[in-house]
Structure formats: C-alpha cells, structure tokens
Amino acid sequence: MFLADPKTNGGQLIQGADGELVPLWQPGFTQVQNWLSVQGAEIFLRTTSFYVNDRWTVNNKLSFNLGARYERHTADTTQAGIATPNSSAFVPRLGVTFDPQGDGQYVLQATYAHYAGKQSETQFAGNTNVGTPSRVTYLYNGPAGEGFDFAPGFNISNYSVLSGSFPIRNIFLDENLNTPVTKEWTLQAGTRLGARGEVKAIFTHRNVDNFIEDFITIDQGKTTVVENGRTFGTFDNVSVRNNEGGVREYQAVQLQSTYRLTDAWNINASYTLQLKNEGNVEGEAANQPGAYSIMGNQPEFYTAERNYPTGKFDDYQKHKVRIFSTYDLKLGGAGTVSLGVLYRYDSPLTYSLIAASVPITAAQRAKNPGYANIPNTQNLFFGARGAQFFAEQSLFDLALNYDIPVWKTVRPYFKAEVRNVFNDQPLIGFDTTITPNNAGPLDANGLATEFIKGPNFGTAQSNLHTPVPREIRAAVGFRF
C-alpha cells in the first residue's frame, strides 16, 4: 500500500485529467506498507467475573451500600509459542448515606469505586497476527515526482526499510498485563425546597491508572526477522505493559435542581463546573478505544514538553448549563397544551497547537543510541496541551405539544420544535492546521519554536464546527 500525499494548491486538492487526485512522490516522506497476514489465526480472550453487592440499613439515618467485583482475564491463541496475558482485577464499590434528621430533608452521601477497563483486542492480542498482521514500512528515497505515471514511485528498489512490526517476532506482552482502572470518589449533599422542589450538589474526583502502553527502548534489544527463508530486516523489540507514567485526572462540581412553581409550571436546572480534565495520555482516538501514545517509544528522540505535554483534554469544558421549563395548560375536553423552553450554555472546548508529520531533525537523529529503525516524523506541540479555546455557545430551544382525548386512551397529538431559535452560529470548532516556522528560533533538538498558521486556520471546515442551524420540526400522531 503506497502512502503518498495528494497535490494541493492553496490548501485545495488538485485533480488530474482522469479526475483522480495527483499523488506526490517525495523522498524522505512517501512510504509503502507491506502487510503479511496469516489466514486462520485466532485468539480467544476470556473475562470471568464475580460480583457481590449488599445494602445495609443501620437505622433511619444511616445506610451503607457495599459491593465488589472480581475479574479474571485469560487468553488462548492458535499461534504456537506466544505468551498470552493472564491477569486479574479487584474493584470495590462503597457508598454511605446519612440523613441527619431521618426525614429526608437533608441527605449527605459519599461513594468510592473502581472501574476496570475492557480487555481490548487491539492490546491483549497485540503479539499475535489476529487483526494485526505483520507489517513492513518502507521509505521512499528516489527522485521527486508526481502522478500515477511516475515510474520511480512504484519501483520498490527506490525504498528502504523504515520500520516493521512482526507481532509474533518482535512484540512482547507482559504476562501480567492488566486493564486500566478508573478510581472515583464523590461527595454529595441535597435538600428539599419545601414540598415543591429539591437541590443537590455533587463533587466528583476521578483518575485513571495502569494505562496500557507500548515501549521501544534500547535495552529491549532487536530481532532479525526471517519469514519463509526471506530476511525482512532487523527491527526494534516492542514491549506492551502497564504505564505508571500516564496521567488522566478529572474533578468537577455539579449542581442539580428542580422546582414546581405551580401545579402546571415546572423548572429544572443543572450546572457543571469542571475543575480538572487533564493529563498527558489521551488513551483513545477516533474509533480507537485503546490507542497507544508516543510516551515510552525511543525516548532519546523526544521531550514531554514538545511531544506529549500535560494539559487540558479536548473534552474539557469549564462551564455547562442547562435550564429548562415546561408549562401545561389544561383545556378540559379540548385537550392539553404543553409549552417548553430549553436554554443551553457551553463554554469553549479546547484544542492544542500541534503540527503533524514534522520530520525528525539532525539533532534528534544524532541522539540515536543504536536503534535498528528510527522514527521519520513526529507530532510537535507548540505550548501546553489544550491551551487554546474555540468559541462558547448560548442557545435556546422551544417546544409545543398539543393532544386531545377522543375515545378512552386514544389521543391524537401535534408536536412542534424549534432548535436554536435565534440561529446563533459561533465557531465551536475550526481548522487548526499549523506548520513549523523553520526560519525562526529552534530548540535544543533543532525543532522550531514558532509556527505558521495554515491557509484555513480559524475557519469552519465541517458541519460540526458550528451549532445546528435553526431547525423546525413538526409531527402528528396518535397515542394509545
């Protein structure tokens, strides 16, 4: 499989006479991947669990909820000579409720719990050919060119081995590999507001331990791979194990309230204040629930500040407000009209200033202690993770429902909704493409410390970059 960038002009893709995109053959960038699958390879991942829970009421003021879950992870594979993980997890559930007056007027609660992650196939089967066939990646060293008729680009002799992954040869899983564990504790306090409402405050503290990470370090050695009499080259060994250096923390305060102003008029509100949602390991990507980070891979080439900094994650949102109210107008035999209004406020989401596919510099290459294959490119941060913000959004939605009884429980109805009533269109996302300014200052690794914004930086490039435009929906039907 050839990996070549398409030709562009001012950020716009260029098509050839045949209507297809024009590939660029760039020495030092263009790559070829050769996948070597093994037909019939299988692995069986098994999780055996046991759960116990009990609620203990001491008196009308104090009660406890006690529970625990035990999980045992095992695996078997059809491929001989492969060590499969064999581990376990014990996760407790503890809760206490205290009602100081014994009448429900004031209620205090606290919880403590662990949550074990899934035995992900992409990780626990990482040293087999099941779903992850062997791969050799080659780097193009021929002349520059473009188009599908550029013969040197398709000549494999113009490529040299860049990296390789042979799961059953150079990837090794820790036999005691454990799933990630989330540890959470909460404090809650609530009270009734007379006979018509209630309010509750919740503080949540959460962190994640035991991230699963792949490590490539010089002390793990190398493996020369020979398959069916063919030598593919020498590759660095990869170790997959739990990473104690990964950090992911979350802290938030939530306020929830409901109040019935009259028998027909009800109002509800919720507010979340995120105090922390940060770390140095995402642990996931789009459609990749178990994604490895660069942390632990050939650390001589990288620094935490430029390649995996600590900071806010892309789902960090300091303030989130929801206020909605409904009013029911009874018309007797003429039916019922229900009116509703919803106010939504979301403070800005974050983004990071990251330049993708930045070449490894000469200064970085000079630090190679003897790896068989050194990286070709990297993602480069300019500042802390999540240090930049998109725009906030403040939206109103309306709803109307009318139904009328006609016979027994049969009630025809009409429903109308208006979303984003005022059609507000803030940029809650936009293109964040940047490239290094190599003509400016450089750091100790020869990497640019300044960047150049892409031609579309700061502009919406998809429907997700603005709220849904004003939208009117209507429906009729029958309820029974």
> Could you read off the pLDDT of 379-425 as tens digits, one per residue?
999 999 999 999 999 999 999 999 998 888 888 999 999 999 999 99
The pLDDT-based confidence of 26 (bands split at 50, 70, 90) is very high
Please tell me what DSSP assigns to residue 151.
G
Does 185 score more than 90 pLDDT?
yes
Mean pLDDT of 296-321: 95
Q: Which amino acid is at 343?
A: Y
Both tokens assigned to 165: 């992954």
Share of the chain above pLDDT 70, in %: 99
Task: Say if 456 falls within a structural domain.
Answer: yes
Which phi and psi (to 5°) does residue 148 adopt? -80, -10
Is residue 178 situated within a structural domain? no
Q: What is the rounded CA–CA span in Å between residue 209 and residue 261?
A: 46
413 located within any domain:
yes
Structural domain includes residue 476: yes
CA distances (Å), origin 265, targets 194, 339, 415? 16, 10, 19
Domain contains 22 = no
Confidence of residue 66 (pLDDT cuts 50, 70, 90): very high
Q: How many CA atoms lie within 13 A of 86 on its CB side?
A: 5
Average pLDDT over residues 191-196: 93
Contacts with 317 (C-beta within 8 Å, 6 or more apart), sequence order = 272, 274, 277, 346, 347, 348, 349
Query: Of 21-30, 35-44, 140-149, 322-331, which gets the smallest average pLDDT?
Result: 35-44
Residue (of 260, 358, 258, 343) closest to 307 by Cα position: 358
The model's pLDDT over 271-306, given as tens digits with 9 standing for 90+, comes to 999 999 999 988 777 767 778 889 999 999 999 999
- What is the C-alpha to C-alpha distance for residues 108 and 199, in angstroms, rounded to an integer? 12
Are 373 and 235 spatial neighbours (Cβ–Cβ below 8 Å)?
Answer: yes
Neighbouring C-beta atoms of residue 145, cutoff 10 Å: 16
Report the Cα 475 to chain-centroid distance in Å.
Answer: 36
The closest of 135, 282, 258, 268 to 193, measured between CA atoms, is 258
Neighbours of 76 (CB within 10 A): 11
Could you give the CA distance from residue 325 to residue 268 in angstroms, rounded to a whole number?
A: 6
In a domain, 169, yes or no: no
The count of other CB atoms within 10 Å of the CB of residue 413 is 16
- Tell me whether residue 194 is in a domain: no
Mean pLDDT of 449-454: 96
H/E stretch holding 16 reads none
The answer on pLDDT for 321 being more than 70 is yes
At residue 84, the 3 state secondary structure works out as coil
What is d(CA 441, CA 27) in angstroms, rounded to the nearest whole number? 26
Per the CB < 8 A criterion, the answer to whether 297 and 360 are in contact is no
Q: pTM value?
A: 0.83
Q: How far apart are CA 425 and CA 191, in angstroms?
A: 38
Tell me whether strands 181-193 and 197-209 are parallel, antiparallel or unpaired: antiparallel
Q: Are 475 and 415 in contact (CB under 8 A)?
A: yes
Q: What is the domain range of residue 411?
A: 259-269+305-480
Confidence (pLDDT) at 80: 65
DSSP secondary structure string for all residues of 380-393: EESSSBT-EE---E
Average pLDDT of the chain, as a whole number: 91
Q: How confident is the model at residue 79 (pLDDT cuts 50, 70, 90)?
A: low
CA distances from 260 to 190, 264, 269 (A): 17, 8, 12
Which helix (H) or strand (E) covers residue 429, if one does?
none
Calculate mean pLDDT across residues 211-225. Answer: 93
Helices (H), 272-421: 304-307, 362-365
- Assess contact for 203 and 186: CB atoms under 8 A: yes
- 107 within some domain: no
Q: How many domains does the chain have?
A: 1
